[in-house]
């Protein structure tokens, strides 16, 4: 690790500590900018620094290291079980033919790189495309362009089981965020009669600073407690509305996590170098403008009832890592979804007592920041709303605006 730096304080929120970490590269590793992490905590600067280091370690684990164990082959040429490539997310013909789509169709007749992971349902080895398990992979072959490389599904933890749980939860979080926005799901708003101390602190800060906070239950058929949050501020011309989405062991924890993301993120809308975050910020900045307020009417338009959150009957994930993993695997298995964990633990992380994994679940909906590559032909995009009790929009009825999620 090269350094950990404290972040700029958020005025009026003394409990919130911010930190950034920069993880040093290894010989032969390119794109060192990927090895940075950010931490936010209401439990002091040490916890914020630890979170930043963990996030930086996740980025580091996704790098392309010398001597990676991989095989060039077609799926048919591999010896052993192979990820079901028919379940891969696909863009629609309209997306592929737009001339702006960042990905290409998967071609089973072309050789690509493969790496081995662990099928979480059977604990047997399984081949997965390396491009899906290593976001920092270099020198892509043309046939490997079917996947949008992003850090979804990566997790680092001292407990290997908890690392897998968190990897699965993040894939479920991105699945929920993508489907909510693209299908414009009229999620039910939730309020918290007895919020946790952390959630209460963040809500009170927002209220004092003229930010209106709206929480929505975005829990999908996977059963992972998920909150989609929209914050609006009538006095912030650069960030009139901002979106967050998070999972947790319960809805209050998930709600607090959304605000830990959105509150500090407002500063990014006022940074001196507008191009410093590129594609990641493009959708959020456009959708944060005052003129885009009506694009959030499917959530803020006053439909349906507001549900008050109380413990009975609400989705929860066990705090015990093994029990949580078993619950997640039952949910995935009930939908016939494969989940593969690829070990990305480097020697440095192992010496620090950490395990790094990348969890791959192709049947869930990927979240991408590219407007012209949203995987709009993936069955999950149309099946999930029905499982959640919502009507289903056809492709031509999907949300035309870019993804505002940060």
Give one DSSP letter per residue of 219-270, joined into a string: --TT---EEEEEEE-TT-SS-SEEEEEEE-SSHHHHHHHHHHHHHHHGGGGG
pLDDT of residue 68: 84
pLDDT of residue 26: 58
pLDDT of residue 158: 97
- Indicate yes or no: pTM above 0.75: yes
In the chain, domain spans: 3-62, 72-405
In the three-class reduction of DSSP (H, G, I as helix; E, B as strand; rest coil), residue 29 is classed as coil
* Residue 50 CB contacts under 8 Å (≥ 6 apart), including other chains: 39
The token duo for 367 is 């979240």
Per DSSP bridges, beta strands 189-192 and 307-309 are parallel
Rounded CA gap, 164 and 321, in Å?
9
Q: What is the mean pLDDT of each run of 10 residues along the chain (406 residues)?
A: 75 92 66 73 94 92 86 97 97 97 97 98 98 91 94 96 99 99 97 95 97 97 98 94 98 97 92 67 92 96 64 81 98 98 94 96 97 97 97 98 92
* Residue 300 CB contacts under 8 Å (≥ 6 apart), including other chains: 214, 230, 232
pLDDT of residue 309: 60
pLDDT of residue 308: 62
Residues 357, 217, 149, CA angle at the centre, nearest 5°?
30
What backbone torsions phi and psi does residue 384 show, to the nearest 5 degrees?
A: -60, -45
pLDDT of residue 318: 97
pLDDT of residue 271: 80
Number of Cα atoms under 13 Å in the Cβ half of residue 376: 24
Give one DSSP letter per residue of 128-167, joined into a string: EEHHHH-TB--S--GGGTTS----TTEEEESSHHHHHHHH
């Amino acid at each position: 690790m090269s350094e950990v730096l404290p972040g700029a304080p958020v005025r009026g929120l003394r409990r919130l500590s911010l930190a950034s970490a920069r993880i040093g590269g290894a010989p032969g590793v390119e794109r060192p900018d990927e090895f940075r992490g950010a931490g936010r905590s209401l439990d002091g600067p040490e916890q914020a620094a630890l979170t930043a280091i963990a996030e930086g370690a996740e980025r580091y684990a996704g790098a392309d290291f010398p001597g990676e164990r991989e095989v060039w082959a077609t799926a048919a040429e591999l010896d052993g079980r192979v990820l079901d490539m028919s379940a891969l997310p696909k863009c629609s013909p309209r997306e592929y033919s737009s001339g702006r789509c960042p990905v290409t169709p998967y071609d089973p007749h072309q050789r690509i790189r493969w790496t081995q992971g662990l099928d979480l349902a059977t604990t047997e080895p399984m081949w997965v495309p390396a491009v899906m398990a290593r976001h920092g992979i270099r020198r892509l072959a043309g046939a490997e362009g079917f996947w949008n490389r992003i850090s979804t599904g990566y997790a680092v933890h001292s407990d290997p089981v908890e690392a897998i749980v968190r990897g699965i939860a993040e894939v479920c979080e991105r699945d929920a965020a993508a489907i909510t926005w693209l299908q414009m799901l009229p999620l039910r708003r939730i309020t918290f009669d007895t919020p946790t101390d952390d959630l209460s602190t963040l809500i009170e800060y927002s209220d004092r600073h003229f930010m209106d906070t709206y929480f929505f239950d975005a829990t999908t058929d996977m059963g992972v407690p998920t909150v989609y949050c929209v914050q609006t501020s009538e006095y912030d011309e650069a960030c009139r509305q901002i979106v967050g989405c998070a999972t947790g062991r319960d809805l209050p924890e998930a709600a607090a996590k959304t605000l830990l993301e959105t509150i500090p993120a407002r500063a990014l809308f006022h940074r001196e170098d507008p191009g410093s975050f590129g594609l990641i910020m493009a959708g959020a900045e456009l959708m944060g403008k005052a003129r885009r307020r009506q694009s959030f009417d499917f959530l803020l338009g006053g439909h349906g009832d507001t549900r008050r959150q109380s413990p009975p009957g609400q989705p929860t994930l066990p705090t015990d890592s093994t029990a949580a993993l078993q619950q997640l695997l039952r949910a995935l298995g009930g939908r016939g979804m494969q989940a593969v964990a690829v070990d990305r633990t480097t020697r440095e992380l192992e010496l620090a007592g950490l395990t790094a994994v990348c969890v791959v679940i192709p049947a869930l909906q990927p979240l991408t920041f590219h407007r012209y590559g949203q995987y709009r032909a993936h069955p999950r995009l149309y099946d999930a709303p029905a499982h959640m009790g919502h009507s289903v929009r056809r492709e031509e009825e999907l949300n035309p605006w870019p993804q505002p999620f940060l």
